[in-house]
Amino acid sequence: MSYPVLYRKRIIPDECILLKDDQILQCDDNTIVTAWKAIHPRSDLSHGYSIYYLKRGYKISKFYRADSSLMYWYCDIVDYQKGPEENSVLTLDLLADVVIYPDGKIRILDLDELAEAFEKQLIDEKQLRQALTSLGDLMDAIYENSISALEAPIIKALAAKVLDQ
């Protein structure tokens, strides 16, 4: 099986980026697990791992500093679509985000941007409903199982990679 080509599309700001440097560690019908380096490196963000939950409407990423210490988990509410080329996946960022800090603190971000996008007709009612439903499902999963259950495919993919070497 050949791995798909990955794209990230944002609504605010309007941009679409080919994730050409992301390394796919695992891929099946339900998930894609990637390792990546920051597109725009910052003093506090170096690299990370992401798991695309293709049927759940979110993507969970582990953000690391240059010293490989965990910054936080960053959860994007998204819509997965067929990408612009054969065997590609476009991840449309539906603006709402959840950040989970190592101490367990949780923040929900950018609901104002979600409302703004709807008001400006950058997203339609179906996408707004989808974003809110996926956000609710994600929060339920976090509260019921903690982030460790959601990040398990990353741990499994990294372990498989070590065993293959």
Phi, psi of 163 (to 5 degrees): -65, -30
Alpha-carbon Rg for the chain, nearest whole angstrom, is 16
- CATH of the domain spanning 5-159, picked from 2.40.380.10, 1.10.150.120, 3.40.50.300, 3.40.50.2300: 2.40.380.10
In this prediction the pTM is: 0.93
Query: Would you give per-residue pLDDT tens digits along the chain (165 residues)?
Result: 689 999 999 999 999 999 999 999 999 999 999 999 998 878 889 999 999 999 999 999 999 999 999 999 999 999 999 999 999 999 999 999 999 999 999 999 999 999 999 999 999 999 999 999 999 999 999 999 889 889 999 999 988 877 776
Quick one: 138 exposed, middle or buried, by C-beta within 10 A (0-12, 13-18, 19+)? buried
Extents of the domains making up the chain: 5-159
HSE-up of 83 (CA within 13 Å, CB side)?
A: 17
**Greatest CA span in the chain, whole angstroms?**
51
